[in-house]
Amino acid sequence: MTVAVLYKLLAILAVVTLGWGAGRMHWLGAGNDSSDPARVLSNAALYVFIPALLLRTTVRLDFATLPGRTVGAFFLPAIALLLAIYFWQRRRGAAQRLGATAPAVRAITASFGNSVQLGIPLATALFGESGLAIHVALISLHALILLSIATLLAELDLARMPRDGVAARASLAATLAITLRNTVIHPVMLPVLIGLAWNASGIGLHPVVDETLQVLGSAVVPVCLVLIGLSLAYYGVQGHLRGALGLAAAKLIGLPALVLVVAHGVFGLSGLPLAVLVVMASLPVGSNPLVFAQRYDTLKAEATATIVLSTLAFVATLAGWLAVLAWIG
């Protein structure tokens, strides 16, 4: 690991620690049910800053320049892992024990990486401009694809859940209609859909609109990092370490292994593209899964613990994956 990447990792942990200190000192409030600063900050990220970032990213996305094989080699295994964990959690009864959206929350936690605040400096330090270009192409679709799928799964589970203690008897068409409506009118999906329509129109962003969205989107990283620290202070990690360890292992070991097999064995990638994909897959859990957990009020402490544990363990696991890539050649 280069010094620049190590400094970035330490800076991330420093901001999280600042958020934890603010929570412990009650600088933003006591963190009780009536006034939870973590939820207020999460709502600010979910309803203001993240939509601005997603809208600007989608409008500016140039689909013609995306490397098709490379994109497929990363997102097919990432989606496969997300769906595998989701269905495994449903089969184990997580929805009944922990809440209807628990399977979706755990699925996005185990598959969504810190691709911006840690991934960009890492790709730059390890692979230079050529590698960064591949990494940025993946970033442009990262949240759009994974958060959209997780949102659809969560809303589908909510639409099927029993109401007032009575099992839902709505028809498949009614369930799908509720799911579609709640998925579209959602702070993640709505800006993506608007951005795609705007992109297709070819109009482009007015400089004032572009600057406004850029300013709002730039707040996502610091707000979400402080949110992680606040959540640590208010929710703690006691009783959630076992689940967090499993999800962190899936993200740090399972996903990069799956991407390596698919990218190298199925898509035939090697050299720089393969290295960029595996390193991006090996990144620790990002902050968006915590915002997702806050949105559905499910497994917030576990998501927080997974983010922190995976970030701390990343130093060791990254070294391992770099050694594997060197051995492959």
- Rounded distance, CA 297 to CA 299, Å? 7
- DSSP character string of 21-53: HHHHTTSS----SSS-HHHHHHHHIIIIIHHHH
What pLDDT does 167 receive?
46
- Looking at residue 306, what is its pLDDT? 94
What top-level class would CATH report for the domain 3-28+35-160+169-328?
mainly alpha
CA distances from 113 to 28, 195, 294, 307 (A): 28, 23, 17, 9
Residue pair 56/213 in contact by the 8 Å Cβ criterion? yes
* pLDDT of 134: 87
Cα-flanking dihedrals φ and ψ of residue 221, to 5°?
Answer: -65, -55
73-82 mean pLDDT: 97
Mean pLDDT, rounded, of the chain: 85
Among candidates 234, 83, 230, which has minimal Cα distance to 149? 83
- Backbone dihedral angles phi then psi of residue 92, each to the nearest 5 degrees: -80, 0
Instruction: Confirm if 99 and 73 have CB atoms less than 8 A apart.
Output: no
Residue 196, Ramachandran bin (φ over 0: left; ψ between -120 and 50: alpha; else beta): alpha
Kindly tell me if the per-residue pLDDT of 123 is higher than 60: yes
Which residues does 136 contact at the CB level (< 8 Å), separation at least 6? 120
> How sure is the predictor about 256, in pLDDT bands with cuts at 50, 70 and 90?
very high
Provide the percentage of residues in the chain whose pLDDT is more than 90: 36
Which pLDDT score is estimated for 32? Answer: 58
DSSP one-letter string for 102-130: HHHHHHHHTT-B-TTTTHHHHHHHHHHHH
Q: What pLDDT score does 150 carry?
A: 93
Per-residue model confidence as pLDDT tens digits over 36-64: 787 888 888 888 988 888 888 888 877 77
Residue 204 token pair: 């482009």
The pTM of this model reads: 0.80
Question: Which pLDDT score, from 0 to 100, does residue 166 have?
Answer: 46
| More reliable by pLDDT, 87 or 155 | 87
- φ/ψ (deg, to 5) at 166: -115, 130
What value does the mean pLDDT take over residues 200-219? 91
Q: Would you state the pLDDT for residue 87?
A: 96
Q: Is the pLDDT of residue 289 over 80?
A: yes
pLDDT digits over 307-325, tens only?
989 988 888 899 899 999 9
Least confident among 99-113, 159-173, 297-311:
159-173
Q: Domain residue spans in the chain?
A: 3-28+35-160+169-328
Q: What is the average per-residue pLDDT within 143-168?
A: 77
Picking from 220, 194, 189, 211, the residue whose alpha carbon sits closest to that of residue 59 is: 194
pLDDT at 34 over 80: no
What is the mean pLDDT of the segment spanning 119-146?
A: 82
pLDDT grade, residue 165 (50/70/90)?
very low
pLDDT over threshold 90, residue 20: no
For the cut 80, the answer to whether the pLDDT of residue 201 exceeds it is yes
